[in-house]
Amino acid sequence: MLYSIKIDTEEGNMKKVKYHNADGCPIKATVDVLGGRWKPTLIYHLFSGTKRFNEIRRLMPDVTQRMVTLQLRELEEDGIVLRTVYAQVPPKVEYSLTPFGRTLEPVVQQMQAWGETYIATLPRTAVDETEASSWLCHRAP
């Protein structure tokens, strides 16, 4: 994923403009969107429904607030996540998958299935460490 800085000559403001450089390769385009340590996990948790930021944080306790914010923002820019802000005090913000984001469900399910197969091949000590972070793939009740 590449970024460029665009300067608004009338206002004098600078803003970051995101564009993909997938070169027509569908694998690269997918990795451009899903690349990011926590993006597939965020998407996975949003399959079960709309969540507020703190709900997401509780589902991913070892991930920093800043990282969750950055990853959600990138997914929003890519049209995967919808961020809804309600005009109320205190502010209420909810995150959900867009219809396009929901098309990633079979992709993430396949990632989970592959991961389960891979974990089964690991030596027991490695599996014990993996189980310690199994919170990543458990949905909220």
Q: Does 19 share its domain with 40?
A: no
DSSP string of the chain?
Answer: -EEEEEE-TTT--EEEEEE---TT-HHHHHHHHH-STTHHHHHHHHTT--EEHHHHHHHSTTS-HHHHHHHHHHHHHTTSEEEEEE-SSS-EEEEEE-HHHHTTHHHHHHHHHHHHHHHHHS-HHHHHHHHHTGGGGPPP-
Domain count for the chain, please give it.
2
Same-domain status, 50 and 97: yes
67 plus 45 within the same structural domain:
yes
Q: Are residues 4 and 73 in the same domain?
A: no
On whether both 9 and 43 belong to a single domain, the answer is no
Residues 61 and 130 in one domain: yes
Domain identity same for 47 and 94: yes
Residue with tokens 């014990």: 128
**Which residue range forms the structural domain that includes residue 25?**
1-34
Residue 50 has pLDDT above 50, yes or no: yes
pLDDT in tens, 7-19: 444 555 554 445 5
CATH at residue 77: 1.10.10.10
**pLDDT digits 0-9 by tens, 73-125:** 999 999 999 999 999 988 899 999 999 999 999 999 999 999 999 998 988 77
If asked whether residues 42 and 66 sit together in one domain, one would say yes
Q: Is 49 found in the same domain as 28?
A: no
Round to whole Å and give the CA distance between 19 and 2: 6
Residues 65 and 11 in one domain: no
Within this chain, do residues 133 and 80 fall inside the same structural domain, yes or no? yes
| Residues 60 and 124 reside in one and the same domain | yes
Q: Could you give the CA distance from residue 66 to residue 39 in angstroms, rounded to a whole number? A: 13
Specify the pTM.
0.74
